[in-house]
Amino acid sequence: MIGSFDTSVEDSLSDMSNEVNSGNSQTSSIIEDGSFMIRMFGVEPYYISRYMSGKDEEKNIDKSVKTLSTFRQFSDIEPEAPYIVDDCRVPSEWPHSGNVEFKNLSVKYGADQDYALKSLNVSIRSGEKIGVVGRTGAGKSTLAKSIFRLLNKNIEGSIEIDGHDTATFGVGDFRPKLGIIPQESTMFRGTVRRNLDPLNEFTIEDMWAAMIKCGVAELIDPDRKCKHAKLAGKIVDSDDDIDDIPEDDDKAYWERESKQRWARSGLLVRAVLFMFDRKWGSYEVEENTRIGINGHLSTNASGFSSGQQQLFSLCRLLMRKRKVMVLDEATADVDLETDRKMQELIRTEFSECTVLTIAHRLDTIMSSDRIIVMEKGEIVEIGPPQELIAKGGMFAKLVQANEF
């Protein structure tokens, strides 16, 4: 996952920091021993010696000191729960149904702080779609974090998934078996492919199919040129002659294409292109473009809006369907129309999965099987949305005020 050490240590740390924030267990476990990294890269002694020798320009020194302090921050991170528990490994088929049970779950962020969740008791059936609502600070995200055991201490009670208390498993064992779209989507420096499939688990066809379903294919293939986008049949007419279309990662083709275009262009056009953009035509392989599955995202988000980044997160989840999934404000940054399409997609694609959807927007959760209404860390109402509205309680008031 942390594959960009070749670019610069600082970029990698920034990527890793994002991954940790998004709950990536693999990275968390790697950085939990920061001193190991310092030893591994020899960064601290290296920067100190450069700093002391006074040969660096001021900006390099600043960068070095910044990097050093980043390392120190990582080395201060407290190790989380064991990554793997040898005598309690996750069964290969777990979770097989997706029943989730919160039993007397209480959570605090610190020993001297108030409970953020208070004695939660709720059973969620396999395949149920649950909307979780409540005002700001009600405890919705804490509930999501608890499912992934991102809060390790000050937890009382248990969360059982298909009869197994998740606290008995190593976090590195069980987290990958569940799916999440966190509040803040993460994109990494590198190719679109790396962003969708950092562990090289999927085919190009899987990626295009997911991107088309989530409506992001056109963001990375605006001219509709990539073969697999065409093969997926939704981007261009089906009677296109696809034999002449290259593989997405056929670098030689695109270089040839680029030269041919150059050769075909008239003198005047060539002069203009030469002056303004010598790389015209180099399509899939051009550095620092986000075009095509091998297009590069030059910075973490590379010009994608936060809503578009959320759609990419949904793509990842679509490829890695899990029996239990949590969507924490996963479509909060997209417009209403796109949100509706995404909810429809979630209902059809994840029909057999248990999905907890945390949302402020009424529309996002109205078609849920049941709604959990939270207030000050407690569940104050639970039931099908229409029943709750008819009951005239807190959910009805929230709906009335459209205030989530």
Ligand X SMILES: Nc1ncnc2c1ncn2[C@@H]1O[C@H](COP(=O)(O)OP(=O)(O)OP(=O)(O)O)[C@@H](O)[C@H]1O
Which range of residues in 53-61, 135-143, 288-296, 389-397 is near ligand X by CB under 6 A? 135-143
Q: How far is the CB of 219 from ligand X (least distance, A)?
A: 27
Characterise 296 by phi-psi region: left (phi > 0), alpha (psi -120 to 50), beta (else). Answer: beta
Residues present in the chain in total: 404
Which range of residues in 53-61, 64-72, 138-146, 156-164 is near ligand X by CB under 6 A? 138-146
One residue of 15, 90, 140, 185 binding ligand X per CB under 6 A: 140
Question: Which of 13-18's residues contact partners 24+ apart within 8 Å by CB, and which partners?
Answer: 13/67, 13/70, 13/71, 13/74, 14/300, 15/188, 15/189, 15/300, 16/74, 17/70, 18/186, 18/188, 18/300
Which range of residues in 32-40, 54-62, 129-137, 188-196 is near ligand X by CB under 6 A? 129-137
| Residue 352, Cβ density class (10 Å: 0-12 exposed, 13-18 middle, ≥19 buried) | exposed
Within a 10 A sphere around the Cβ of 174, how many other Cβ atoms? 23
One residue of 98, 139, 190, 292 binding ligand X per CB under 6 A: 139
State which residue, 9 or 380, has the beta carbon closest to ligand X: 380
**Spatial separation of the C-alpha atoms in residues 299 and 7, rounded to whole Å:** 12
Binding of ligand X by 136 (CB under 6 A): yes
Which range of residues in 24-32, 137-145, 239-247, 380-388 is near ligand X by CB under 6 A? 137-145
Compute how many residues bind ligand X; rule: CB under 6 A.
11
Binding of ligand X by 134 (CB under 6 A): yes
State which residue, 133 or 293, has the beta carbon closest to ligand X: 133
Pick out residues in 251-270 that bind ligand X (CB under 6 A).
none
State which residue, 140 or 193, has the beta carbon closest to ligand X: 140
Nearest 5 degrees, angle CA 291-CA 297-CA 299? 150
Query: Strands, DSSP E only, in 125-259?
Result: 129-134, 155-161, 164-165, 179-181, 190-191
* CA distance to 191, 195, 212, 281, 298, per residue, from 294 (Å): 5, 10, 16, 15, 12
Q: How far is the CB of 83 from ligand X (least distance, A)?
A: 22
State which residue, 190 or 377, has the beta carbon closest to ligand X: 377
* CA distance to 23, 89, 167, 171, 276, per residue, from 151 (Å): 11, 20, 11, 11, 53
Q: Hunting for tokens 């207030």 — which residue is that?
A: 375
Which range of residues in 41-49, 58-66, 133-141, 174-182 is near ligand X by CB under 6 A? 133-141
| Residue 150, Cβ density class (10 Å: 0-12 exposed, 13-18 middle, ≥19 buried) | buried
Q: How far is the CB of 175 from ligand X (least distance, A)?
A: 19
Q: How far is the CB of 125 from ligand X (least distance, A)?
A: 23
Please check whether residue 78 is in contact with residue 31, taking contact to mean a CB–CB distance below 8 angstroms: no
Q: How far is the CB of 160 from ligand X (least distance, A)?
A: 21
Q: How far is the CB of 316 from ligand X (least distance, A)?
A: 22
State which residue, 195 or 313, has the beta carbon closest to ligand X: 313
One residue of 13, 30, 138, 232 binding ligand X per CB under 6 A: 138
**Spatial separation of the C-alpha atoms in residues 67 and 4, rounded to whole Å:** 16
Which token pair is 16? 């890793």
Identify the CA nearest to 38 among candidates 70, 14, 61, 15.
70
Q: How many CA atoms lie within 13 A of 70 on its CB side?
A: 19
State which residue, 141 or 313, has the beta carbon closest to ligand X: 141
Cα Rg for the chain, rounded, in angstroms? Answer: 24
State which residue, 113 or 348, has the beta carbon closest to ligand X: 113
Pick out residues in 176-195 that bind ligand X (CB under 6 A).
none
Binding of ligand X by 285 (CB under 6 A): no
State which residue, 294 or 368, has the beta carbon closest to ligand X: 368
Which range of residues in 45-53, 136-144, 200-208, 392-400 is near ligand X by CB under 6 A? 136-144
Binding of ligand X by 142 (CB under 6 A): yes
State which residue, 136 or 200, has the beta carbon closest to ligand X: 136
Residues 6+ apart with CB under 8 A from 362: 398, 399, 402, 404
Pick out residues in 102-121 that bind ligand X (CB under 6 A).
109, 113, 116
State which residue, 142 or 357, has the beta carbon closest to ligand X: 142
**Spatial separation of the C-alpha atoms in residues 281 and 255, rounded to whole Å:** 8
Name the residues that contact ligand X, by CB under 6 A: 109, 113, 116, 134, 136-142
